Each structure stands twice: as structure tokens, then as C-alpha cells.
Structure 1
Amino acid sequence: MVLLVVGATGTLGRQVVRRALDEGYEVRCLVRSFQRASFLREWGAQLVRGDLCKPETLPPALEGATAVIDAATSRPAEAGGVYAVDWQGKVSLIQAAKKAGVERFVFFSILDAEKYPHVPLMDVKHCTEKFLAESGLDYTILRPCGFLQGLISQYAIPVLEKQAVWVMGDAAPVAYMNTQDIARFAVQALRQPKTANATYPLAGSRAWGAYEIVRLCERLSGQDAKVSQMPLGLLRGVRKLARFFQWGWDLSDRLAFSEVSASGEPLTAPMDEVYPAFGIDPKEITTLEAYLKEYFTRIMKKLKELDYERDKAKKKKVPF
């Protein structure tokens, strides 16, 4: 099976590539820069130059492809922003995949996307879900809540560096999941006929609030966190201001997405029927506690080693 992965250099996409290669798939990656994606070639993937915003580049990448896993999304500084990549680009990709005779299309959306039509990224994801479902392709839509990987820069590193940890007041708890586990669901979908033409939530073992994560980081690191609260009113004010300027439109769209977490409604979903459908044991899924514990254990060990080497170097100095 030839699998085309779109968004292969991203946090989630690279895990999809790694998982698919490990399971013996022939993996092809749609990339804009061979240099930036060189690590994927080193892993054993084939690189094909293409761009979602350039529809003419998609058919060559899809030639001979059996399946597509789409993990792409626009970046904050992306030219054209959310609509160019996450809507127009995805429509072009789905149409090209249909024309190329692709047998299965796996798309990553966001949990509860239909509940927030005022949030551009959520609205676009929901519209893409509907477009894919009506395309005639056999599809699987996966709707994660959030990535464990994002918690490192948001919580763990600031705690270790004694910097402020910014949280929004009354932020909604989120059932984060490891991108490695999310990638496993995506690749497994290709082997499970029962997952065709269906939509599934992907949620971690439970939803975690911001202050719960801060307390966990404090316990694992042995350090006190400096917590600073971002008022929701200030967030909305910045968003409205950004809408006045063309250069601020994408920033405004992303600030709107931040308001989802400030709504107070937990981002989580039951997984009782999801695990059996994909043939995955829930006990094998990484918990937030285990993920952060592993991170802090590695970092604290490294810091101790650096302190030891520093002390050793000082003792070697001979005063003159």
C-alpha cells in the first residue's frame, strides 16, 4: 500500500510517518521543502514536492497512492492563513484524491468543531468534514482534543526555568492525547474496514484543567510555579483590535480558537466504542501523568549530569 501523508513535518504528521513506516507501509510525503523534510527521507519515506495552496502540484503526488492521511494545518505566519490552507487547500486535496482513485482518506479534525462556528479554524474543520463525507471517498475522520506535546512548552519548561506559566481564567479542562497514540489510530484505520465512512473522537484518559497540570509539574519537578492569569476580557479585546488590520486577521482567528478553552465546557469524549473499533487496547495509551513524569525524569537527570560536570570542571582549575 502506498500511503501519502500530508503535513508530514508537523508535530502530528511526523508521528504518522514514523508509525506507518514501522508497520511496513510505503510512505510518500507531500512537502514544500526537501531540506526541511530531510529527516523523513532518512527514516525511509519518499518526498514529493507539493503545496496545498497550489492544486496543480497535488495530482503527481497522488499518482499510485492507495490512501491519504491528512495531518496538515496552517501555521500562524502562513500566507493566506486558515482559509487558504485548511479550506481551499483541503478541498483541492480531496478532489484530487477522488480523481486519483484513492481508496481511503483519513482526516484530522478537532473535537466539537461544529459547536464553534464563530471560531474560524473550528468552522473550517467542520466544513471540511462535511465536504469529505459528501465527496464519495471512503473516509475516516478523527477528532482529537489536544496534544500532550504542547504541554511541554506551555507548562513544563516555564516551571523549570522559573518563568511565568500563563493560564486563562476558568479554562476548560482538556483530555490531551499523545501524538504517537493519535498516529496509531490513524494508521490502524487503514486496516479496519469498520472504521470507513465514520467519525471518531480521540480523547485521553481524562480531562485536565490548567491548574491541575501546573500542580503536577510542580510535584514532578520539585519547584514552585509562577502562575499568571490571562483575563478572557483582555483576550477578546486583543482579538477585536487585530481584526482592524489585515496583518492581524490570522492572529485574530487564532485568538478566537483560544476562546474555546475559555468557554468552561470540557473538551473530552467517551472512548468506549472507539478502542474496539480500531482494535487498540486503552491500557497502551499514554496518560498525561506518565508523559510528564518521563519528561521531567529525563530533564532532571540531564540537569544533574550538567551540574556534576560543571562542579568537576571547577575542581580541576588550578589557582595561580
Structure 2
Amino acid sequence: MNKKPSVLLVGATGYLGSFLLKELVNQNFSVKVVVRNPQKLPQVENRPYEVIEGEVTKPSTIKNCCKDVDVVISTVGITRQKDGLTYMDVDYQANVNVLEEAKQSSVKKFIYVSVLKGDKKRDVKICAAKEKFVDELSQSGLDYTIIRPNGFFSDMTDFYQMAKRGRVYLFGDGQGKMNPIHGEDLAEVCVSAIDKSVLEIKVGGPEVLTLNEIAHLAFSALNKKPKITYIPDWIRLAILKLAKTFTSSKTYGPIEFFLTFMGLDNMTAPKHGQHTLEEYFNQGAGANRP
């Protein structure tokens, strides 16, 4: 029987990374992780994996992290701005730092998680950083796969929190469609890419929903009467302009990403998985994280 490749996972303490670590270990891969704070790693019962303490934004702390590694999987990126770091610092440069180590250690494959339509939205700061790294990876000489999910269940927690406060605000008519994916289902896709010769995988969850339907699922999970306010799209565009003018890049970045993608009519991707958003909301919108 062929020996499974050894894997370096970068970003193991994030939403997707925590599911990925569990999936890799459960499938008996030899796993190493690079983390800044090992205490934030998810619990994986009685399964060994190697922990490297380091910061991917500081190349000297991850030297030789790819030694004896066959495959790198990176989910590194900023979800909430912190530490004064920019998207270019993390989503681009930190991944470049890992890529340089991968090249030096002759890693066979690099799997990177970007975002659906990110290559079409390079004017958005987070997408610009992610796609700049995709460009770098595609020219690296390594085999690679870009995973393009259209949204995590964890992103949908914003709807749940609005519903919890009593009212959900939607831009336009709320008919924009998407099929966000659970971290566990997406982890399966990422791990399956190890053995696939494919440059890009676009993926979403099993159910296509409108933003209206997502809002109603959130209210239903909370046993609350739906209250939805529809905000004209010109206000979304005005907020984008005002935020860019009057807020710092730390504040503006997440607002820009959210408002840009909430304004798209269609963020659907090929269906995968079995976890439903209704199930996620009913469990408290995040209580089922590993």
C-alpha cells in the first residue's frame, strides 16, 4: 500500500483550519502544523501531530517548517483585522513566506484556499492580496490547487447575530443567491485535492439559498418573528465610499469585503457536502465547531 503523503497545515486554529486538522488526522496523514499559539488548536483525540510554534508573517520563525513535507495546505488569511497587519501582510506575504519554505524543501504540492470570484474582484483589498498570492503560486513551479469556496457557515453567523438582536438588514431585495459551505464539508474537499491533478476547485454547500431565506432560517432557529429591513443598493454603494474615505484600512477592509459580496446577485458554486445552514443555526451558529 502506498504511504500517505506528509502534510504541513498552515492556519490550523481558524474556522476551516480546525476542521482540516481533524480531517487530516482522521485520515491518518502525517501532519505538522505551524501556529503562533498552540493553546488555540482544536482537540483531536489521541491522535499525534507535530506542532511548530512560529508566525508565518516572520520568516525566521518558520525556517525549515517544510522539511520532510510532501504537501502544504494553507488557509492563512485575515478574517477579522487585528495586530495592525494588512491583507498584504497576511493573505499575501505570509503565504509567500510559506511558499518559499515549500520551494526550498522541494514540496510536491501546495493547496491554497482563496475565495470564489476573488480573481474577478481584485479591486477589493482582501481579494487583491489573495489573488496576488495565487499569481505567485501559479508561477512557483510547484504543483498546486486553488480552492474557491463561496462562503463559510461561520460567515453566516452575522445573519444569526442580527436576528438575535431582532432585525436583519439586507441590501436590495434579498434575492441574491449563495450556497455557503460548512467547514467540515470544505475540509473534505481540501484533503481530497491532495490526490487530484486539478488547478482550481470551486465549491459551495448542498443548498442554494437566497439572502431572504438565510434570514428566515436564522429567525426560525431563534423562534423569533422575522423582521427584515431592505436597504436600497445605492446606500450600500454610498457606505462603501464613505467607509473608504473616513475609516482606516483596518476598519474598511472587512466592510468592503462584506458589502461587495452582499451586493452580488449570484454567489453559487458547485454543490458539495451534507451539512445544512438550518442545522448550523439550530445549534447556535458555531457551537458545532471542533
Unpaired runs of at least 5, structure 2? none
Q: What's the CA shift for 1:85?
A: 0.6
Equivalent position of 1:267 in the other structure: 267
What amino acid is the match of 1:256? Answer: E
Which residue does the alignment assign to 2:167?
A: 164
- Matched position secondary structure for 2:178: coil
Supply the distance in 2 between the matched residues of 1:31 and 1:40 (Cα, whole angstroms).
15
**Closer/same/farther in 2, CA of residues 18 and 230 from structure 1, 3 Å limit:** farther
Q: Secondary structure at the match of 1:51?
A: coil
Give the alignment's TM-score, normalised by structure 2. Answer: 0.85
Q: Which moved more, 1:10-19 or 1:57-66?
A: 57-66
2:37 aligned residue (33, 36, 39): 33
| Corresponding residue for residue 129 of structure 2 | 124
Q: 1:149 aligns with which of 154, 176, 191?
A: 154
Larger CA deviation: 75-84 vs 42-51: 42-51
Q: Note the C-alpha offset of 1:21.
A: 0.7
Which amino acid in the other structure matches residue 87 of structure 1?
Answer: Y
Q: Structure 2: how far apart are the matches of 1:146 and 1:43?
A: 29
The count of aligned residue pairs is 281
Distance 1:109 1:162, change over 3 A: closer
Query: Structure 1-normalised TM-score?
Result: 0.77
Whether the 8 Å CA contact 1:17–1:45 is kept in 2: the answer is no
- Shift, 1:113, TM fit: 1.0
Indicate the residue corresponding to 1:275 in structure 2: none
Counterpart selection for 1:288 from 256, 269, 277: 277
| Residues in 1 aligned to 2:264 and 2:111: alpha-carbon distance in whole angstroms | 30
Q: 1:135 aligns with which of 140, 144, 159?
A: 140
SS of 2:146's partner is strand
Shift of 1:213: 1.3
1:226 aligns with 2:227: yes
Query: 1:110 corresponds to which residue?
Result: 115
| 1:83–1:41 CA distance, 2 compared to 1 (3 A) | farther
Identify the structure with bigger relative contact order (alpha carbons < 8 Å, sequence gap 6+).
2
| Residue pair 1:177, 1:203 contacting (<8 A) in 2 also | yes
Match of 2:216, SS? helix
CA apart distance, 1:242: 4.4
For 1:82, which of 77, 87, 98 is the aligned residue?
Answer: 87
Q: Secondary structure at the match of 2:266?
A: coil
Q: For 1:285 and 1:67, how far apart are their aligned partners in 2?
A: 27
Q: CA deviation at 1:261?
A: 2.2
Task: Select the structure of larger CA radius of gyration.
Answer: 1
CA shift digits 1:63-91 (9 cap, x unpaired): 22221110111231242210101111112
Is residue 4–residue 29 contact of structure 1 (8 Å, CA) maintained in 2?
A: yes
- Distance of 1:229 and 1:49 partners within structure 2: 46
For residues 205-249 of structure 1, the C-alpha deviation after alignment (integer angstroms, 9 at most, x for no partner) is: 34322211122334454321333445554554454444456x711
Q: Counterparts of 1:264 and 1:143 in 2: how far apart (Å)?
A: 16
Q: Is the 8 A contact 1:133 1:197 kept in 2?
A: no
Q: Where does 1:65-80 land on structure 2 (aligned, <5 Å)?
A: 65-74=69-78, 75-80=80-85
Instruction: Identify the structure with the greater helix proportion.
Output: 1
Identity of aligned residues (%): 25
User: 2:216 is matched with which residue?
Assistant: 215
| Equivalent residue number for residue 64 of structure 1 | 68
